[in-house]
Amino acid sequence: MPLSPLDVINLALMRIGAEPIATLTEATTRARLMAALYEPTRDETLRAFQWNVSITRIQSLAYTLPSATLTPGTGATVAATAGVTFTAGGGVFLTSDIGRRLRGPDGGTAILTQVTTAAVVLATIGDAWPDLSVIPAGEWKLDFTPPAHTWTYAHLRPADWLAWMPDELEDPTSVSVEGTRLLSNEDALDLTYLRQAPDPAEWDADLTEAIVCHLAAKLAMPISGSVSVQQNMYQLFQGKLKQARVADSSEKRPTVKRIPTPLIDVRTSG
């Protein structure tokens, strides 16, 4: 039977000789400690090694493709012009889009400075737009807020992100991870990263044991007050990581054929 998070928690409690809990909300010190420690410790353990269950491959895009036409207004054909109106063929803009960059198919760019309505925005021109023709839906892009310098595009870090695997990139120096963004000079990236894996049913025996021992090591002092128990649990945790690394080094990971999973926010008009 697959384990639940509560099962994992109680396994850790039993390792240090403590009574199990029924829920994380019960009024006990054990439950309060576990409520605070469980998720951070789980994620810390996942970051400590490239567990297979955590490895994720995606195609990341530095833009969205709003599903509406876009018409540049007067002044769009002159670089650095401020207050230029752009009109979409439907309600595709949000107030939170201020600072993002409009990008046309022929090189025109503009930074959004005001959202007048869901279909009308004001922007400052970067690269001049070639003309004021209507641009069909799917042919213009709304870039995420670009970096101030050095890099051209900003990719949003996935919500389940724990750590990235730069060695999987052809050129690891082509991406810089800064805060919640990944900066690059490419607007589409094939990324490999370690994700959160909150469901114990996905874990193998080694990962389960590593998380149990890691939790037990953190709980040993506040619950049992035993330094020796804490050290023993931590040594078991480190041993499990070492065992996983040895097993990984003896196995040649096959090349995985990537199935693109574009992070595209297609906004419907109306």
Domain interval for residue 41: 5-51+197-249
Of the listed ranges 88-92, 134-138, 239-243, 255-259, the least confidently predicted one is: 255-259
Residue 162 covered by a domain: yes
User: Do 189 and 68 fall within a single domain?
Assistant: yes
Q: Which helix (H) or strand (E) holds 232?
A: helix 227-249
Residue 257 covered by a domain: no
Of the listed ranges 51-60, 87-96, 108-117, 240-249, the least confidently predicted one is: 240-249
**Using alpha carbons only, what angle is made at residue 263 by residues 86 and 40, rounded to the nearest 5 degrees?**
125
Amino acid identity, position 172? P
Residue 111 covered by a domain: yes
User: Do 73 and 189 fall within a single domain?
Assistant: yes
Using a pLDDT cut of 90, give the percent of the chain over it. Answer: 86
User: Do 117 and 14 fall within a single domain?
Assistant: no
User: Do 78 and 184 fall within a single domain?
Assistant: yes
Q: Which helix (H) or strand (E) holds 59?
A: strand 55-61
User: Do 130 and 186 fall within a single domain?
Assistant: yes
Residue 57 covered by a domain: no
Residue 11 covered by a domain: yes
Looking at residue 221, what DSSP letter applies? I
Region 165-184 average pLDDT: 92
Position 202 pLDDT exceeds 60: yes
Position 169 pLDDT exceeds 70: yes
Residue 268 covered by a domain: no
Residue 239 covered by a domain: yes
**Using alpha carbons only, what angle is made at residue 204 by residues 199 and 205, rounded to the nearest 5 degrees?**
120
User: Do 174 and 202 fall within a single domain?
Assistant: no
Band of residue 1 on the pLDDT scale cut at 50, 70, 90: confident
Region 89-118 average pLDDT: 98
**Using alpha carbons only, what angle is made at residue 167 by residues 240 and 51, rounded to the nearest 5 degrees?**
25
User: Do 107 and 183 fall within a single domain?
Assistant: yes
Domain end marker among 149, 171, 195: 195
pTM value? 0.85
Number of domains the chain is built from: 2
Amino acid identity, position 39? E
pLDDT of 251:
60
User: Do 224 and 189 fall within a single domain?
Assistant: no
User: Do 115 and 152 fall within a single domain?
Assistant: yes
Closest CA to 192 of 168, 175, 213: 168
User: Do 116 and 180 fall within a single domain?
Assistant: yes
Alpha-carbon distances of 91 from 1, 158, 178, 192, 262, rounded to whole Å? 49, 26, 31, 34, 23
Beta carbons of 19 and 30 less than 8 angstroms apart: yes
Looking at residue 222, what DSSP letter applies? I
Q: What is the pLDDT of residues 26-37, one digit of tens each?
A: 999 999 999 999
User: Do 158 and 87 fall within a single domain?
Assistant: yes
